[in-house]
Amino acid sequence: MTLLEVVGVSKSFAPGTSAVDAVSLTLERGEVLCLLGPSGCGKTTLLRIISGLERADAGQVRFDGRDMAGVPPHERSFGMMFQDFALFPHKNVRDNVAFGLRMRRLPAAEIDARVAEMLAAVDLDGFGGREIGQLSGGEQQRVALARALAPGPQLLMLDEPLGALDRALRERLMLDVRVILKRVGMTAIYVTHDQAEAFAVSDRMAVMNAGRIEQLDRPEAVHAQPATPFVARFLGFENLLPARVAAAGEVETAVGRFRPAGEPLPFGATGLLLIKPVLAGIEAAGAADKGAINQVAGVVEAVTFRGRFSQLWLAAGGERLLFEEQDSLPFAPGDRVRVTVGAEQLQMFVDGS
């Protein structure tokens, strides 16, 4: 069931520039949607418009069928969680979680029961009497989440909630956040610039650029089939080459000829060819080797070990390509190699489409 509808929302802070540009989306009850994109793409502004902290120049926000225009933030039954957690250092864990409930003047017994329920939901049973300064960064993050959930918001909005934590701790907490949100059945919008976070937390993700949504889909669909070159680059795909469709549906580039999977592309079409970094094969090559269809012959520039995989940088046709392999690669800078890629690892972005 659709809980939130954003229809044609726009916002500008200066003439001629749009922070949010005609954005539309829906959010289902119990769904976690990530707004993903670089700094300045409009994701936090969109979040603030939905929350009522900013007023849109155009468009409409509807929640559970009700137009939110003119409804102040404190009457929207939305919860917020920010990057800095904003916990009260002079209050213990129990009092931090209880803060919103006490503001509502609920009975003490009801507050105590709700605080205990929320601490259990975030796996902090027995932490109620601890001071905030005694907690680790991850524990503070859980307290902040429990405090945001305690009043029972119908929608929870999280703005870079793990941004202040180091990479190792973020990696551990990404899945925890999703598990907790699903455990309590919370509908949530989660803002992040980190694609790993978005993949780990979301049911669907909206990739934003210059105030617009470039792609809105399930994480696995976005990764498998980026909708635009921007989305591909933002997801970390390096190999985007100018290309032209020649006879027999072959795609010509500076590094060789390719035939992507699927229906043949229209003859003469131009655009960018995405070569995903997955290797179907790699072998030593001779100096005169030009490669066949779906192959690239070139010179190894670098091989780096990244823990769970190895990366190989290849110079070919004036381009620099990146490939990855789970096993170690027996090649060194200066070696000539021939790389084979699968047709399913190729995607053409046709100009004007």
CATH number of the domain located at residue range(s) 240-350 in this protein = 2.40.50.140
| Confidence (pLDDT) at 141 | 86
Rg (CA), the chain: 25
Q: Which amino acid is at 126?
A: G
State pLDDT tens for residues 96-115.
999 988 888 888 999 999 99
Distances (CA, A) of 252 to 120, 265, 290: 59, 12, 13
For the cut 90, the answer to whether the pLDDT of residue 47 exceeds it is yes
pLDDT at res. 264:
85
* Extents of the domains making up the chain: 2-229, 240-350
Residue 288 has pLDDT above 70, yes or no: no
* Domain 2-229: homologous superfamily in CATH: P-loop containing nucleotide triphosphate hydrolases (3.40.50.300)
Q: Please determine whether the domains at 2-229 and 240-350 fall in the same fold group of CATH.
A: no
Give the pTM: 0.90
Q: Which of 54-58, 179-183, 300-304, 340-344 has the lowest mean pLDDT?
A: 179-183
Confidence of residue 260 (pLDDT cuts 50, 70, 90): very high
pLDDT digits (tens, 9 = 90+) for 10-42: 999 988 889 999 999 999 999 999 999 999 999
Long-range contacts of 233-238 (CB under 8 A, 24+ apart): 234/36, 234/37, 234/38, 234/195, 234/207, 234/209, 235/195, 236/195, 237/274, 237/276, 237/277, 238/277, 238/321, 238/322
Q: Which residues contact 61 (CB under 8 A, 6 or more apart)?
A: 4, 5, 6, 7, 9, 49, 50, 67, 68, 69
> Which are the contacts of 168, defined by CB distance < 8 A and separation ≥ 6?
none
Question: For all residues of the chain together, what is the average pLDDT?
Answer: 91
For residue 148, what are its two tokens?
A: 């945001």
pLDDT category at 287 given cuts 50, 70, 90 is low
